[in-house]
Structure 1
Amino acid sequence: MARTNVRKSPKGEQTRHKILDATIAVIASSGIKGTTHRAVAEQANIQLSLTTYYFTDIKHLVREAMELSAIRFVADNSNQWLQGFALIDSYSAADRRKLSVRKLLCEQLADLASRHMYDNIINRPQALAVEQIFFTEMMFSDELREIAHSHIYNLKQPFTKFCRYFNRVDPNVNAELMMIAFTRIQYMYLPLPPQSVKMSEIRMLVKRQLSWVMGLKT
């Protein structure tokens, strides 16, 4: 288990977070099987003895690093969702039923969502890579499965809220499909070099998904 007494000093907490950040980077580049105390120590540029002191169990270190990565990823997404919901709420419910308004809103939301997804791909590839590994490894680990299910639940909540604006019959189904589509779009571009990632292509895919949820013909 991880040692808890080291959390009492600010320097100890700083070192601990440095180890977790390094672990996230190693998981993203080498997967869980390639994540060892030595690999983490080299990534963090610290002594091997420090990683084993703060985290004696490599499984606990991997679990905590994945939890931290998931928390950060959801927080980053939440800020964008707040902007999206503020934009939707700037129109009245009556206005949102008008085709012209929904078309305009779809364009605005497509701009917002595609910019954020592009930013994730270019500037937060580690978080996306760790999440992808997360969902793959959950099939083989009960411990990671629990965290992954919690992460999926947290990711899905804003999608469900969004879908309720335009479909009160089965928003959960639409939210599930929308979340899968948005996640898949980001994973699809993740292996490409940055110069090959085109925001116009991402926007086209995002707009198609939004149009479907919002009841617009594509």
Structure 2
Amino acid sequence: MTNVIQYQGRKARRAGSEQRRQAILEAALAIIVKDGIRAVRHRAVAREADVPLSATTYYFKDISDLIADTFTLFAERALTEVIEPFKQKAFELLSNFSRDTLANPDSRAQMVTTFGTMLAAFITDEFHQRREHLVAEQAFLQEAVLDERLRDLADLYLRQQLESLKIATEMFGCSNPRLDAELILSTMMTIEQRLLVHPEYATPEFVEARMCNLIDKLLPRG
């Protein structure tokens, strides 16, 4: 992971300098969430971070480096604060089931509901509690299309999310665990994007219906 998560800008040499550098990245991320990537300018970031304009140009020679490092910080935090806790919670919950559970229709239905509801709860919690994270994630993945320096980082970010889903689909004996995991993740991200555009859909019922329907189609029967 450390081979992929690499910052582009000038490295801070002292603790105080690192705090200022972090403040600049935090400010850039706040601007991205509020006004979009194209609103990131040295002057705007300096104002948001409450630092001299010379500080932003000292650490980041151009805007592209500043944006790249902002998304590097985002991905680094998301991996430890969002994705890893989700993986741990998922494994804890799914450990109550096994492939043999699928042989009993009632137990299978319970598994579908439990797994689908867990994924739906993650999505709705993200929307209600960490909406800024979802907005930044959408911006990060879009920027990775345009900036090749972010592509390896974006791949790592998505692989980490796929890994827990792939292990779950393997546990349940899905015919093609990796492709099924990719389908689950792409559905989750599509729903998240839809909720950002239509927040009135951000209800447990709306999300659970879609995730449970998908899980029911993917899990083997008996």
Common fold: TM-score over 0.5: yes
Pairing partner for 1:157 from 150, 163, 172: 163
Deviates more, 1:22-31 or 1:116-125: 22-31
- Quote the residue 1:169 is aligned against: 175
Residue 33 of structure 2 aligns with an amino acid whose one-letter code is A
TM-score by length of 2: 0.84
- Counterpart CA distance in 2 for 1:98 and 1:64 is 50
Going from structure 1 to structure 2, the CA distance change for 1:107 and 1:7 (only over 3 Å counts) comes to farther
For the pair 1:123 / 2:129, whether they are aligned, the reply is yes
Do 1:24 and 1:126's aligned partners in 2 also have CA atoms closer than 8 Å? no
Write out per-residue CA displacement over residues 168-188 of structure 1, whole angstroms, 9 at most, x where no aligned residue.
Answer: 531111111111001111111
Matches within 5 A, 1:1-218: 2-4=9-11, 6-9=12-15, 11-75=16-80, 76-193=82-199, 197-215=202-220
User: Pairwise CA RMSD of aligned residues?
Assistant: 2.2
Deviates more, 1:168-177 or 1:40-49: 40-49
- Counterpart CA distance in 1 for 2:201 and 2:117 is 19
Residue 17 of structure 1 aligns with an amino acid whose one-letter code is Q
Question: Once the 2 structures are TM-superposed, how far is the Cα of residue 165 of structure 1 from its aligned partner?
Answer: 1.5
Going from structure 1 to structure 2, the CA distance change for 1:126 and 1:180 (only over 3 Å counts) comes to same
Going from structure 1 to structure 2, the CA distance change for 1:55 and 1:82 (only over 3 Å counts) comes to same
Write out per-residue CA displacement over residues 17-51 of structure 1, whole angstroms, 9 at most, x where no aligned residue.
Answer: 22211111222233332211122222223332222
Secondary structure at the aligned position of 1:33 is classed as helix
Going from structure 1 to structure 2, the CA distance change for 1:213 and 1:7 (only over 3 Å counts) comes to farther
Question: Once the 2 structures are TM-superposed, how far is the Cα of residue 141 of structure 1 from its aligned partner?
Answer: 2.3
- Counterpart CA distance in 2 for 1:200 and 1:81 is 23
- Counterpart CA distance in 2 for 1:196 and 1:7 is 47
Secondary structure at the aligned position of 1:139 is classed as helix
Deviates more, 1:28-37 or 1:117-126: 28-37
Write out per-residue CA displacement over residues 123-167 of structure 1, whole angstroms, 9 at most, x where no aligned residue.
Answer: 222221222122323332222223222222222111211111223
Residue 161 of structure 1 aligns with an amino acid whose one-letter code is I
- Counterpart CA distance in 1 for 2:157 and 2:38 is 21
- Counterpart CA distance in 2 for 1:73 and 1:23 is 16
Identity of aligned residues (%): 25
The total of aligned residue pairs comes to 213
Question: Once the 2 structures are TM-superposed, how far is the Cα of residue 90 of structure 1 from its aligned partner?
Answer: 2.2
Question: Once the 2 structures are TM-superposed, how far is the Cα of residue 205 of structure 1 from its aligned partner?
Answer: 1.4
Residue 26 of structure 1 aligns with an amino acid whose one-letter code is I
Going from structure 1 to structure 2, the CA distance change for 1:97 and 1:84 (only over 3 Å counts) comes to farther
- Structure 1 gaps of 5+ residues are none
- Counterpart CA distance in 1 for 2:139 and 2:76 is 15
Do 1:27 and 1:35's aligned partners in 2 also have CA atoms closer than 8 Å? yes
- Structure 2 gaps of 5+ residues are 1-7
- Counterpart CA distance in 1 for 2:102 and 2:44 is 53
- Counterpart CA distance in 1 for 2:202 and 2:194 is 10
